[in-house]
Amino acid sequence: MKNIILIAAPAAGKGTLSELLVEKYGYVHISTGDLLRDASREESELGQKISNMLKNGELVTDEIVFQLLENRLRKDDILNGYILDGFPRTINQAYKYDEIVNKLNKDLGIVVCLQTEYDTLRKRIVGRMLCSDCGSIYNTLTGVNTPKVENICDKCGGSLYKRSDDNEESFKTRYETYLEKTKPLINYYQEKGNLYFINSDSKETMLKEIEVLLHD
Ligand code: AMP
């Protein structure tokens, strides 16, 4: 299977698309946001530092992210194909990723850029709720995936919570960071010739469009 790098504004559907590909094709999902959230729960100075950066919606320093990612890419479970979600997020990270890929003898694969309207992104973030037990994603603003019972997971009955960075202010910071730092990656990968765009307005369009790329 082709490795996939996802480039997308916050809430453009990276998590949802990854979930679909994990279920249908057995991809391994590597999210630097998840790696950082796990690390932020550790009771150490580093954990506290990461937790503060996440709360403010700032990018975490490269040194920390590179270390976590490289450790993850050394595990054997990813040999059949992985989706990289949330990395690289800057040109500097893209250069570093080229180095890591060479060092670990991995295939760069394809880079997929997800496209959705600004207002849809805002509602997805501000209304997003997650299940504390099974990780399922809900939304109270978009009308898609509204939980049947307020604050309760439809699938497992677990309680729903909001990520500390899923608020209006943090969304604006994250979106501006995306425009300034991450969007330039589109040119970088376009020049390499492995960049593709897909429409991420709904699960169905995303899956249909990515399957065309995977089977090419
Ligand atoms: P995400 O789950 O991808 O939305 O990421 C949540 C937060 O984790 C971001 O707002 C950043 O603070 C941090 N983060 C995730 N990936 C990276 C990365 N590649 N570089 C720096 N910070 C990151």
Residue 27: both structure tokens together: 């991809």
- Could you give the CA distance from residue 69 to residue 66 in angstroms, rounded to a whole number? 5
Q: How far is CA 92 from CA 50, 115, 206, in A?
A: 20, 23, 28
CATH number for 82: 3.40.50.300
Atom 8 of ligand 1: nearest residue by CA position: 33
- Could you give the CA distance from residue 8 to residue 179 in angstroms, rounded to a whole number? 10
Cβ pair 30, 72 in contact under 8 A: yes
Q: How far is CA 190 from CA 132, 183, 193, 197, in A?
A: 38, 12, 5, 10
Specify if 130 maps to a domain. Answer: no
Specify if 139 maps to a domain. Answer: no
Specify if 75 maps to a domain. Answer: yes
Question: pLDDT value at position 122?
Answer: 95
Specify if 133 maps to a domain. Answer: no
Question: pLDDT value at position 59?
Answer: 87
**pLDDT digits 0-9 by tens, 119-143:** 999 999 999 999 999 999 899 999 9
Residue 84 has pLDDT above 90, yes or no: yes
Specify if 136 maps to a domain. Answer: no
Q: How far is the CA of 23 from the centre of ligand 1 (A)?
A: 23
Question: pLDDT value at position 164?
Answer: 85
**pLDDT digits 0-9 by tens, 11-56:** 899 988 999 999 999 999 999 999 999 999 999 999 999 999 988 8
Atom 7 of ligand 1: nearest residue by CA position: 33
Among 68, 89, 177, the mutation site with the greatest number of ligand 1 atoms within 8 A of its Cβ is 89
Give the HSE-up count for residue 98: Cα atoms under 13 Å, Cβ half-sphere. Answer: 9
Specify if 127 maps to a domain. Answer: no
Q: Is 60 in the pocket of ligand 1 (CB under 6 A)?
A: yes
Among 5, 14, 30, 36, the mutation site with the greatest number of ligand 1 atoms within 8 A of its Cβ is 36
* Mean pLDDT value across residues 150-176: 93
Q: How many domains does the chain have?
A: 1
- Could you give the CA distance from residue 154 to residue 39 in angstroms, rounded to a whole number? 28
Specify if 82 maps to a domain. Answer: yes
Rounded to two decimals, the pTM is 0.85
Domain of residue 84 covers 4-116+167-214
Specify if 13 maps to a domain. Answer: yes
